[in-house]
Structure 1
Amino acid sequence: MEYQDLAKDILAHVGGKENIVSLVHCATRLRFKLKENQKADATGLKKNPGVIMVVESGGQFQVVIGNHVHDVWLAVRHEAGLTDDTPTGEDKGEKDNLLGRLIDIVSGIFTPFISILAASGILKGLLALAVVCGWLTTDSGTYKIWFAASDALFFFFPLVLGYTAGKKFGGNPFITMVIGGALTHPMMIAAFNASQQPGAVPEAFLGIPVIWFNYSSSVIPIILAAWVSCWLEKQSMKRLPSSMKNFFAPLICISVTVPLTFLVIGPLATWISQLLANGYQWIYMLAPWLAGAAIGALWQVCVIFGLHWGLVPLMMNNIAVLGHDSMLPMLLPSVFGQVGAALGIFLRSRDTRQKMLAGSSAATGVFGITEPAVYGVNLPLRRPFIFGCVAGGIGGAIVGFSNAHVYSFGIPNIFTIAQMIPPGGVDASLWGGIIGAMIALVLSCGLTLVAGLPARDAKESAAPATVGDNDVLSPMTGTVMALDQVPDATFASGLLGDGVAIIPSDNRVIAPFAGEVASLFKTRHAIGLLSNCGIEVLIHVGVDTVKLDGKPFTAHVRVGDKVQPGDLLLEFDRQAIIDAGYDLTTPIIISNSDEYREVATVAAGTVNAGEPLLSVNH
């Protein structure tokens, strides 16, 4: 229910349920595949305070939400009536270009499990750190159990990829998952191990020689096999009698695709995998520092447009084929460059809201989620984003020059440092990776402090935002609710005036316009304000909270005080009010609304304190 209004607004601006072909989410953004992109209203959706940014790239309509994207994704699916088995129709829009289709396929296959992928990589890195520090030994039971937990996803990669690839290609994901299981079956791994022994006798399938490979942790073979299986399944479903489809279509897919994978698809895909890995290594070895500079500087630009997914399979493939990857460490300075820029804004800005946003986004960025920092503070100010990219390029060059590698996959974040510990122990490559990341952080922070927010802009940012005569800003941060939904008949009926309600997520009430304090209840749970242009506003914190006798409330103004937008009026103890059993829903009422033609709510979903909430029109 918390994200219901936001979900409804998102659905309305993407053209409704009927326009959705597919919907997945990654760490921070909803990724829509739409039938007709022209039906979507990106400009209108950007106005929703619950949306950080809207990006149209890679054949996808991407809505950047932030860390709570999973909850919003669930709310959107609920509002649209979508389930895992609900067909959303075929794409009738224009065909995407090859790059767009590739990115759409890759993101659709990998995003469903990206969080557990990152968690597994972090646990692997922490285990490596524990071994280096002497806290664990590789022959201990503790290490073995945690290693199994961290390695299970990577070892059985073909099963997981088989499921998600099957869904992406429009087939039965359990069929393609079984095919992935066949690739990692103990008997097949034993056959591969036996084939590596001197004097091993070649084996055949129906007289056709089999070249054995170890497909555990592999990426490309199962994706190609899943595509073949889904195509074969669709053809079988078209041609088989209805009484035979449910059993014989899976039978045909498994009995044909599994041998075909071991005989043709697997060896071909393995050759492609090795070609890609060796080709990347060749380019990397030509000038590691130049590769690091380019990747460190441009990675966040790719993230903005969602193009970074094109490189994710390459990094995974490097680890599967080579046992290590040099690209992921070069991304760490790119991430820390944007974190440093946000930190610089936090340290320099005098605007309370900007300072809070920069601080929270910097903290989130340390763990690899940079969209709040990029979209929320760095990119709008331009210079901090540029400084972050420049610092990322310099740090990336240092990382590349130091020949740093990771030995397990994950998203680039603070824990990547543990994943860079070589199997033989700490060496210069690890220190080079750490130094490159830290230089990017410090350099971008310093540049932003010095020139990221010029004195003129800093002065403007410290001043209150200009408020129109008919604007009422939100006095608190929280979820917007229609007035008639307030659990109090007096407010809900509109007897006290038109307005809106907010369920607060913090404990502060600020001035919504320039004016004066007209009234302040003795219990401090409600306050009346009069704007300079005559708008009367009543802010009533919670329902029936007058019974608390003012204990959870603190007033920072008195009757007759002049206020400016953003001035602190009240503070309250949210938890004490909740523990006392009272509803925190806060009506914001235009007491003299009968003097106006219209009182319109301009915010939906969630709203931050100081953002537009109501428009009062004569």
Structure 2
Amino acid sequence: MDKYTELAEQIISGIGGRANIAALTHCATRLRFNLKDRAKASKTIISDLDGVIDVIESGGQFQVIIGNEVAQVFDAVQKVTGMLGEKIDVVEKEDLKVKTKITDKLIELVTGIFTPILPVLIGGGMVRALLMIATTYFGLSEESGSYIVLNEIYIAVYSFLPIYLGFAAAQKFRANPYVAAAVSLAMVSSTIQTSVQSDIGLTLFGIKMQFPTQGYGSSVIPIIITIYFMAKLEALCTKYIHATVKNILTPLITLVITIPLMFLIIGPIASYLQDLLGTAYTWIYNLNPALCGVVLGGAWQILVVFGLHWGIVPLGQINLAMYGRNTINAVTGPSNWSQAGSALGVALRTRNKKIRETALSAAITGFFSITEPSIYGVNLKYKRPFYIAVAVSAISGGIAGYVNAAALAGGPVGILSFPLFIGEGFIGFCFAMVFAFVGSAVLTYFLGYDNQND
């Protein structure tokens, strides 16, 4: 038995067995369980397992924090439990009819949709970063074949975002993801967009179609609402259409109703709502970028602790789609290095070999934007390192806001993503990141760790 299977069996036992699992997903570092009976799960037992960093309850979920190896443990849990259906979201529908807060449902929804597409967002963003380095420092021409081909990788992600969101949303809403992909492809059709935005325009059933100026290619909210509608329509078709023709008529009806409604009603209204959110955030940010940076920077890792940061993540993508700049990543990014710095401070201060190894490993992963090992494995455990990291994050976020730094693509903020911030405020952003790490490390070394913990 390998270590992942062994850990999976121990976790399943600790949460009350396979029969107590109503839903299972995972994000970058956590297994996220919806349980039928919370009383059957033991946080203490699971927290003490080798391979588990911590356990928290948030957003209506029982979250087991694993760290970088979460995907392997998730696969092992699926194999052990026999939950080998949809890999991203394994759900037993009848067991999810539990009253939860609207905010919890919203955060769970955003997590379930955005977590599966993070790898492609990160990949596309890193290609963008490499191209910016190559053109800025190594003379790569934007007219060259190499640039054109590689830039298409970035475009394939960020100019066709609804395709990925639509597929993930369909899995979350338990609809057919391939039908959803067809709907999403129609949304980003260049033929339709060009025709709608031409002088002549385009009509559908005699109604003139309206498109947002930038199109739907980088939009977030329109496709999610569209796929939610599609899922409800598909469920109705599945329920009422006779089994002999269900497989033929269900996708047909779903497509011919959803796509026209998407263009005529859902898309325009959802785009308006998205623009309102983006404009509102930008208005608040522009009132005082430094203050906004202090608030978001200081609060970010606290939100991460409870998994609530997912409620803000879509705003960054909306900001990027509307203005080509993501200021949220700029002001919250330094908080990753603040947590890493505090973990390093503990590693340098402690005389306990095991604590030093844990803290040093956590600090290294923090450099690459994975902060959970630092937060749960070290900083929260000793409290003061976490408080110091939060305080330094607020200052660093304020610096990034003051210089008006912003990311030009999405993805986590770490050592590899610096090129994404090249442009206005880049030097100030670099200073904020270094200050976050060094400041937290120094303050934790002198003030944040008591050697009695050894």
How far 1:452 sits from its partner (Å)? 1.2
1:160 alignment partner in structure 2? 164
Using the aligned pairs only, state the percent identity.
38
Structure-2 separation of matches of 1:303 and 1:235: 38
Q: Is 1:185 aligned to 2:208, yes or no?
A: no
1:442 corresponds to which of 435, 438, 447: 438
Within a 5 Å distance, the mapping from 1:532-611 to structure 2 comes to: none
Partner deviation per Cα, 1:14-65 (whole Å, 9 max, x = no partner): 2322332322211111111223333322222112122111111011111100
Partner deviation per Cα, 1:395-445 (whole Å, 9 max, x = no partner): 1111111111111001121233211113xxxx5x11111111111111111
1:18 alignment partner in structure 2? 19
2:251 alignment partner in structure 1? 250
Look at both structures and tell me which one has the larger radius of gyration over its CA atoms: 1
The number of residues matched between the two structures is 448
More strand by share: 1
Alpha carbons of structure 1 residues 92 and 161: separation in structure 2 relative to 1, 3 Å: closer
Alpha carbons of structure 1 residues 460 and 168: separation in structure 2 relative to 1, 3 Å: closer
Alpha carbons of structure 1 residues 87 and 64: separation in structure 2 relative to 1, 3 Å: closer
Within a 5 Å distance, the mapping from 1:213-292 to structure 2 comes to: 213=212, 214-292=215-293
Q: Give TM-score scaled by structure 2 length.
A: 0.95
Give the 3-state SS of the residue equivalent to 2:404 in structure 1. coil
Tell me the amino acid that sits aligned with residue 438 of structure 2. Answer: V
Give the 3-state SS of the residue equivalent to 2:415 in structure 1. coil
Q: Is 1:208 aligned to 2:204, yes or no?
A: no
How far 1:92 sits from its partner (Å)? 4.8
Partner deviation per Cα, 1:116-151 (whole Å, 9 max, x = no partner): 312221221221122111331111111122211233
How far 1:230 sits from its partner (Å)? 0.2
1:358 and 1:377 in contact (8 A); partners too: yes
Tell me the amino acid that sits aligned with residue 201 of structure 2. Answer: P
Structure-1 separation of matches of 2:359 and 2:201: 62
Tell me the amino acid that sits aligned with residue 121 of structure 2. Answer: L
Structure-1 separation of matches of 2:146 and 2:435: 36
Structure-2 separation of matches of 1:154 and 1:217: 6
User: Could you say which structure has the greater relative contact order, defined with CA pairs below 8 angstroms and 6 or more residues apart?
Assistant: 2
How far 1:94 sits from its partner (Å)? 2.9
2:23 and 2:96 in contact (8 A); partners too: no
1:555 alignment partner in structure 2? none
CA RMSD in angstroms comes to 1.5
How far 1:113 sits from its partner (Å)? 2.0
1:507 alignment partner in structure 2? none
Structure-1 separation of matches of 2:77 and 2:289: 44
Tell me the amino acid that sits aligned with residue 207 of structure 1. Answer: G
Tell me the amino acid that sits aligned with residue 200 of structure 2. Answer: V
1:137 alignment partner in structure 2? 141
How far 1:11 sits from its partner (Å)? 1.3
Within a 5 Å distance, the mapping from 1:98-497 to structure 2 comes to: 98-192=102-196, 194-195=197-198, 200-213=199-212, 214-422=215-423, 427=424, 429-454=425-450, 458-461=451-454
Unaligned segments of structure 1, at least 5 residues: 462-618
Structure-1 separation of matches of 2:158 and 2:84: 28
1:161 and 1:177 in contact (8 A); partners too: no
Unaligned segments of structure 2, at least 5 residues: none
Tell me the amino acid that sits aligned with residue 228 of structure 1. Answer: F
Structure-1 separation of matches of 2:254 and 2:15: 36
1:24 and 1:111 in contact (8 A); partners too: no
Structure-1 separation of matches of 2:96 and 2:344: 45
Indicate the larger mover: 387-396 or 432-441.
Answer: 432-441
Give the 3-state SS of the residue equivalent to 1:3 in structure 2. helix
Kindly report structure 1 stretches of 4+ aligned residues shifted beyond 6 Å: none
Tell me the amino acid that sits aligned with residue 430 of structure 2. Answer: I
